[in-house]
A and B are shown apart, each in its own frame.
Chain A
Amino acid sequence: MKEIEGNVYLMGDEVNTDDIVPSKALTIIDIAKMAQYTCENIDPDFIQKVNKLNIIIAGENFGCGSSREEAVRVFKYFGIQAIIAKSFARIYFRNLINQGIPAITLDWNHGDFSEGDHLKITLESGKLLNLTKNKIKQFEKLPEFILDILEQKGILNKLKNSL
């Protein structure tokens, strides 16, 4: 699997699925239209920033709330490469993996990351390099089972390959 490279967008604790896709946007069928509402209640500038920032670093219980997979798909639409959080809500974790987006659990401290920091991540070795701050972090490697889903770019591709 190739290295993941990108710039940090910082988020806090307990970011929930209503924060990511507000329910008023949830019935929209076209993902491009729905994505225009992404995170509007918590950061009105999100969709501008996301052009340059494509790795999310977040706190505890990221993605808590609803099962709406749209809350992953809007990030995918904007080209988010990976999400690193202190902990993930379980359905959200599944939805990320199923969509082929690495969900990395890392207990990070204030000051480890700033918005815009340039990162390099190697999933196989569990290494995260902050090139801006010249810091290296080791995270718990994802199990082989999950790496395999990511390698195949998500559960639906894996399913297509097996049918």
Chain B
Amino acid sequence: MSYTICEKILIKHNNNKDLYPGQFIHANIDLIMVHEQLGGIIQEEYRKLNIDYVWDPNKIFFILDHWFPAPTISAAQRHQKCREFAKEYNFIHNFLQNEGISHQVLPEKGFAKPGMLIVGSDSHSTTYGAFNCLSTGIGASDVIAIFATGKLWLKVPESYKIHLTGTLPKNVMAMDFILKFIGDISTKGALYKSLEFHGEGLSSISIDGRMSISNMVVEAGAKFGILIPDKKLENWLKSRGLNSLNFTYPDDDATYEKEMTYDLSDLTPIIAKPHNPGNLAHINEVEGIKIDQAFLGSCTNGRLEDLRIAAEFLKGNYVHPETRLIIIPASKEIFLNALKEGLIEIFIKAGAIIGNSTCGPCIGGHLGVLGPEEVCISTTNRNFKGRMGDPTSKVYLASPATVAISAIRGKISDPREVM
């Protein structure tokens, strides 16, 4: 038999029993990430089970990231409930204070090891696919079942193979690729599927960029987005203290339901127009639209590479007087590195607002909620109606380069013009 990466990793987590796409299994979970969801349904329902333990406190990664520090009383109450539960059930890996966004902090701390099956109480838990893990998002009841048993029911998905060639042109980023992909295939084009990314084009993309790709696969409906490992990944993981690495590759004759090829060299800056991440536009179709707010951050694009490229644009420039630019490094580590490299100083001098590492405005929670009719260009993952604030506001999704230049000009602008 020949297998895709997804099938190989699932077999390992199915007590080494063979499986096929469409089959239901009870998979053994290696690691579960849980955030503020814990303080809602999860803690309340878990207590009703009347069990005074969790299956393995060492396999739970717990972090507060969505509304940190609390912007409202109800968010603060949620955090209180989270802390109580984590203490009561002896969670070991607690990231309670200002560490950053789950999908950034978890891999940074070396928790995402190749070959693992990781789930999280957040839809963007697909991000860990960049580290050759199989990972996806689940709901509160799933988290409860895993806390009690360590197992999750799931259907084995079919796989799509996406082959990348070429290299990205200057100021065109991994975000442009994944927005193009989602626009092409549509937001339901990869429903339930496991996406496998291959090719020398992939190797040309940084780990930061790869995380944007695996992060966004869920916006095409995918269950997993897993990337072929290489030397660059190996070096990154070693720098996180992970040395005995066991990468998973697909078999040469594995079965894919669909195969697609993209030449990265052909890509241009891409925008997702309101109110759907698949509402694709090329930059020239939306150039000149006036913006009230620009946001650079989130689990999708708040990494060091993103901040560096923004700093290239912002150095010696100033944010347009009728636009506010909010920049949020995705983790404390990124924040500190940005400080050391002088990026934060560049941002502050350019008039940007720097927030602590949190999901912030991405979910309309705090630090930049949009008012009626306001327009925002954002490096985040969703531009649903009302996502970042008032239901009449409009969000355009774009790469960090496009967001930075747009903030300077006060209107949606092409980052390739500034070279």
Contacts and interface: CB of A to CB of B under 8 A. Distances in A.
16 contacts: A14-B276, A18-B385, A27-B74, A27-B78, A64-B221, A65-B384, A67-B37, A72-B139, A94-B138, A98-B139, A99-B141, A143-B24, A145-B24, A156-B141, A159-B144, A160-B49
Interface residues of A, number: 43
A1 interface: no
Interface string B258-276: 0000000000000000001
Q: Sorted from nearest, which 4 A-B pairs have the closest CB atoms? A: A98-B141, A69-B139, A95-B139, A61-B188
A27 B123 contact: no
A42 B51 CA distance: 40
A69 B75 contact: no
Given A61-B188, A94-B139, 9 more contacts: A22-B386, A26-B363, A27-B72, A27-B74, A64-B188, A64-B221, A65-B384, A67-B139, A68-B139
A49 interface: no
Interface in B40-95: 40-41, 45, 48-49, 51, 67, 72, 74-75, 77-78, 81
Nearest to B77: A29
A23 B123 contact: no
Contacts of B276: 14
Contacts of B188: 14, 60-61, 64, 87, 89
Interface stretch (B110-118, B145-153, B195-203): B145-153
A18 B386 contact: yes
A98 to B, nearest CB: 4
Of A27, A94, A163, which is in contact with the most chain B CB atoms at under 10 Å from its CB?
A: A27
B121 interface: yes
A66 interface: yes
Interface in B102-138: 120-123, 125, 137-138
A41 B137 contact: no
Contacts of A27: 36, 67, 72, 74-75, 77-78
Interface string A19-53: 10011101111000000000001100000000000
A65 B72 CA distance: 23
Contact of B221 (A18, A19, A61, A143): A61
Contact of B144 (A18, A60, A70, A156): A156
Interface of A: 14, 16, 18-19, 22-24, 26-29, 41-42, 60-61, 64-70, 72-73, 87-91, 94-95, 98-99, 143, 145-146, 149, 154-156, 159-160, 163
Interface residues of B, number: 49
A140 B355 CA distance: 49
Contacts of A42: 385
Contact of B41 (A14, A16, A69): A69
Given A29-B74, A41-B391, A60-B188, A65 B382 contact: yes
A24 B45 CA distance: 23
A94 B40 contact: no
A87 B191 contact: yes
Contact of A70 (B41, B45, B75, B385): B41
Contact of B40 (A29, A60, A65, A149): A29
A163 B81 CA distance: 25
A47 to B, nearest CB: 16
A68 B188 CA distance: 19
A151 to B, nearest CB: 14
A29 B76 CA distance: 11
B49 A163 contact: yes
Interface in B196-255: 221, 223
A67 B121 contact: yes
A92 to B, nearest CB: 8
A27 B153 CA distance: 28
B187 A64 contact: yes
Nearest to B369: A24
B49 A24 contact: no
B384 A16 contact: yes
Contacts of B191: 61, 87-90
Contacts of A94: 138-139, 142
Contacts of B141: 69, 95, 98-99, 154-156
B394 interface: no
Nearest to A92: B139
B351 interface: no
Interface in B132-172: 137-142, 144-145, 148-149, 153
Contacts of B183: none
Of A60, A72, A143, A159, which is in contact with the most chain B CB atoms at under 10 Å from its CB?
A: A159
Nearest to B191: A87
A155 B78 CA distance: 24
A148 to B, nearest CB: 10
Nearest to B359: A23
A137 to B, nearest CB: 21
Contacts of A24: 364
A77 to B, nearest CB: 12
Contacts of A154: 141
B40 A159 contact: no
Nearest to B188: A61
B387 interface: yes
Contacts of A68: 37, 139
Contacts of A163: 49, 51, 148
A31 B109 CA distance: 35
